[in-house]
Amino acid sequence: MSVQNSDGLLKDGTWIRQIRSYYTPSQAVQWLSRIGVNLGITQDEIEAGSVPTSLETLNLLRKDRAYSGAARVNEAPLNETPIYGNLSHQVIFVQPIPDSNRTYLVDVGFGVPGLARPILLSSADDNVIMGVDKTEKHRLTQSSIPSSSLGQCTKRLQRDQWQLIIHFYLVCVTETLHNSGESPEIKWNLEVYHEKKTSPDEEGWRIMFTFSEEEFFFEDYAAASFVVSMMPNPRGFFWNNVVCVKHFVLDPVAQVIGLNVDQDTDTEKPMYRLVMVGKEVKQNIGGETKIIRTMKNEQERIQILRDLFGVHVKDMDAAHIAGRQPAF
């Protein structure tokens, strides 16, 4: 069963409360220093809530009202019935506008086909946003999980039909017992569409993951993280691969690698994506993917993580992957 929510609001128009961050002002300052962002913001300013803002800092330390939820990743290929895993992927619900409960979905870590920008929490047909570039699109839909054990009758009685209540009841019971009743549990789905220049027959909308509006907490993610990293899973993407993804605004990257790409004049600038999965590094741009590096051992992988992704892994850290599924 599919439904449509076009108002951009949480269920019943729920507002997100302003709560204190998990992270201390000291940790926030350390994080900014670690990622190389020098905004001149002090620990005392963060503590007092008087962080100065400018056009350069509007995207950082905004104190937006937000909470996190969890999603089930779809493991099925395009055009096949979804196969969902456990609740292991974090999504974030944000209400960035003061005095408004208009809600957006943010996803900061899904990987290759993930969101590159916020999307309004709406399943309206016109709520489609650009991904890293115009060959990639995202949208939200709503439906039930196909494997759900729950069902409800699709028949509806009018007020003048109560004399048929016995027949109505029998029809509903039969419908539900024969697995044709619709599940009342409606979830949100994030879908992605890729234009394929070399293989247009592989195009189409695919559900990336499904999620509800239920709030998840630190303890939930600690448990999910342990399962993902420690429980053997033959189909587990992260159990079987070392994965790293980095996005760049196309302009500076195009200059560095000599790409001749037309630039947009609007704010939705196209981006460039580097992806490490297993023993390969791929470049995704403009609907085309090509392998730019291959690795033969852990030291090469560590060096590429440093050079291309800015992840400063130490040589000695190779010992921690020894014996694991994705190790060389």
**The two three-digit tokens of residue 290, written as one number:** 């090509």
Q: What is the CATH number of the domain that holds 222?
A: 2.40.128.150
Same domain, 99 and 212: yes
pLDDT value for 200: 64
Q: How far apart are CA 208 and CA 328, in angstroms?
A: 29
Q: Percentage of the chain surpassing pLDDT 90? A: 38
Residue 96 contacts by C-beta under 8 Å, 6 or more apart in sequence? 62, 64, 65, 104, 118
Nearest Cα residue to 6 out of 117, 93, 124: 124
Which amino acid does the sequence have at 110?
Answer: F
DSSP state of 1: -
pLDDT value for 264: 40
Same domain, 199 and 298: no
Structural domain boundaries enclosing 206: 64-148+184-238
Report if residue 13 sits inside a domain.
yes
If one compares 31 and 314, the residue with the highest pLDDT of the two is: 314
Same domain, 87 and 23: no
Report if residue 113 sits inside a domain.
yes
Q: How far apart are CA 53 and CA 51, in angstroms?
A: 6
Same domain, 247 and 290: yes
The model's pTM:
0.78
pLDDT value for 167: 53
**Phi, psi at residue 247, to the nearest 5°?**
-105, 150
Nearest Cα residue to 193 out of 151, 236, 132, 123: 132
Query: For the chain, first and last CA: distance in Å?
Result: 45
pLDDT digits (tens, 9 = 90+) for 190-233: 999 988 766 666 678 999 999 999 999 989 999 999 998 888 98
SS (H, E, C) 267-328: CCCCEEEEEEECCEEEEEECCEEEEEEECCCHHHHHHHHHHHHCCCCCHHHHHHCCCCCCCC
**Phi, psi at residue 193, to the nearest 5°?**
-130, 130
DSSP state of 263: P
Report if residue 121 sits inside a domain.
yes
For the residues 129-143, what does the mean pLDDT come to? 91
pLDDT value for 268: 62
pLDDT digits (tens, 9 = 90+) for 149-159: 776 655 554 55
